[in-house]
Amino acid sequence: MLRIIDVYGELLLKAMGQTLLLALCGLFFACILGLIFGLMSVVKNRPCNIIARIFVDAIRGVPMIVLAYFIYFGVPYLLNTIMKIGGVTLTALQAGTACLALNCGAYMAEIIRAGIESVDKGQMEAARSLGMPYWRSMYRVVLPQAIRTMIPSIINQFIITLKDTSILSVIGFPELVNTAKNVLANTFMSFQTWAIVAVMYLVIIQTLSVLAKHLERRLKHGL
């Protein structure tokens, strides 16, 4: 095991960096998508509700590995070969980010919807009765209370998304699992390699969990 760390340690650390980069890119856009579709599902507007519903159901109904293949291979094929637009290429990072953002975004939308719905509707009514516009009331009164109940689920979703980056090894993104496969191809030491990879994931996720707990505690008192 020491030999692997000695020879491939740097490579694996770099791969861990790539995993984190991919996860961060994915989560960033997932938060935006989640917020947009989450809010679209709570506003009093049928078309918005329906669009949000379709988005969430479609993404949740497709395995992420299929989504990854679809975005990385399917979309450029559609544009280049079928629609003859040509010259469209996606890097593995772009496709991976899109894939994570869509997948995690759908779940985030559900978390945000549930969080907002968990706030008593009297809170919105009270704010509106004072003459505050809908979005002002949402921003000042409802969302701050919703976020508190959403935090544990959001952290959970972040962790799932971080682990889901491993699925994107199938489109050749040089993250941990993909890199580990290359190491394995050279060394044939599967126990040691996968043990190291497992520990690396564990360390990242534990760090994230501790940070999250800390944040959760602080939000409980503050806000």
Partner 1 sequence: MDSKNVKIHVSHLKKNFGKLEVLRDISNDITEGEVVVVIGPSGSGKSTFLRCLNRLEDITSGEVVVDGVNIADKKADINKVRENVGMVFQHFNLFNNMNVLRNLTLAPVDLGKMSKADAQKQAMKLLERVGLADKAQAFPSQLSGGQKQRVAIARALAMNPDIMLFDEPTSALDPEMVGEVLEVMKELAREGMTMVVVTHEMGFAREVADRVIFMDGGYILEEGTPEEVFGNPQNPRTKDFLNKVL
Residue ranges in contact with partner 1 by CB under 8 A:
120, 122-123, 125-133, 136, 140-141, 144-145, 148, 223
From the CB of 136, what's the least distance to partner 1, in Å?
Answer: 6
Report the residue number, 149 or 156, with the smaller CB distance to partner 1.
149
From the CB of 124, what's the least distance to partner 1, in Å?
Answer: 9
Report the residue number, 73 or 134, with the smaller CB distance to partner 1.
134
Report the residue number, 145 or 187, with the smaller CB distance to partner 1.
145
Amino acid at 211: L
Report the residue number, 140 or 213, with the smaller CB distance to partner 1.
140
From the CB of 166, what's the least distance to partner 1, in Å?
Answer: 38
DSSP string, 24-67: HHHHHHHHHHHHHHHHHHHSS-HHHHHHHHHHHHHHHTS-HHHH
Phi-psi region of 115 (alpha: psi -120 to 50; beta: other; left: phi over 0): alpha
**Phi and psi torsions of 94, nearest 5°:** -65, -50
Classify burial at 68, counting beta carbons within 10 Å of its beta carbon; exposed 0-12, middle 13-18, buried 19 or more: buried
From the CB of 144, what's the least distance to partner 1, in Å?
Answer: 5
